[in-house]
Amino acid sequence: MKPNPTALETAINPDAQGPKHGVESHRRLFCPHYDDCLDEAVVRGWNSWTCSACELGLVSPEVEGGLEGYATQRRLA
């Protein structure tokens, strides 16, 4: 099974708040396949993309410190 990102018609508003808005509502940011999907979206020239149809990232790993902690961990890796 391989990652299955899907193109979005419009860009995601990164400043949107709430459970149905923003990047976190469309993408599984802590998925181990996230970078592969990002690469695929770039290669295909997509303006934006979603993880909603992908079965690989259904379970996101527990990340200490939330999004900021995760970003810091990735930057230091």
Q: Please provide the DSSP assignment of 19-41 as one string.
A: TTSSHHHH--TT-TTHHHHHHHH
- Give the Cα-Cα-Cα angle 51, 22, 47 (nearest 5 degrees): 60
Taking the chain (77 residues) in runs of 10, the rounded mean pLDDT of each run is 84 69 75 87 91 74 61 60
Rounded Cα distance, 28 and 38, in Å: 11
pTM: 0.63
**Coil vs helix vs strand at 66:** helix
pLDDT at 15: 73
Give one word for 65, left, alpha or beta, with left for phi > 0 and alpha for psi -120 to 50.
Answer: left
Rounded Cα distance, 28 and 54, in Å: 10
